[in-house]
Amino acid sequence: MLLKQIMQKKVVTLGPDASVRDAAKKMKDYRIGYLLVTNGESIKGCLTDRDIVLWLSGGKDPDSTKISSIMQTGVVTAEPDLDVFDASKLMARKKIRRLPIVEGNKLVGLVSVSDLASVIEEEVDNFFHVEEAYQI
């Protein structure tokens, strides 16, 4: 199975000039803990709820700080035609829980660890059912 078959196509994003408060509000409104920071359709970085909490613990102003100054850069991405098993290995190796999907430089989706877990479980179950069918 390929990532394009399981990816979430509606990805919540925010521009790099948005404030930390804007990012926190968007996360709250959408009930998510991860935002991609984009400039148009191009990924510039990402921001997690944990990033915000750690940053806020320093007593800084969430209204006057742009998310571009606290976001993570160098976001690991994958293409839609990547196999789910290869994606899971990539995510494990890079120690990431979310994988943005891009075609060229254009953001087209997102896959999370939980998205992969249910698909991989199903694939493994199917494999064992086939194995059982061929046992003599």
Work out the mean pLDDT of the chain and round it to a whole number: 90
What's the pTM?
0.84
Q: Name the band, by pLDDT with cuts 50, 70 and 90, for residue 92.
A: very high
Length of the chain: 136
41 and 68 Cβ atoms separated by less than 8 Å: no
> In angstroms, what CA-CA distances link 124 with 56, 63, 99, 114, 119?
42, 48, 22, 15, 9
pLDDT score of 38 more than 60: yes
Per-residue model confidence (pLDDT) at position 124: 66
Tell me phi and psi for residue 39, to 5 degrees.
-120, 95
Residue pair 80/2 in contact by the 8 Å Cβ criterion:
yes
pLDDT, tens digit (0-9, with 9 covering 90-100), for 94-104: 999 999 999 98
pLDDT band at 24 (very low <50, low <70, confident <90, very high): very high
User: Is residue 31 scored above 90 in pLDDT?
Assistant: yes
- Structural domains of the chain, with CATH: 3-134 (3.10.580.10)
Q: What is the side-by-side order of every strand in the sheet holding 42-48?
A: 13-14, 34-39, 42-48
Q: Is 1 helix (H, G, I), strand (E, B) or coil?
A: coil
Task: Write the pLDDT tens digit of every residue in 51-70.
Answer: 999 999 988 899 999 999 99
Strand-pairing partners, residue 47, are 35
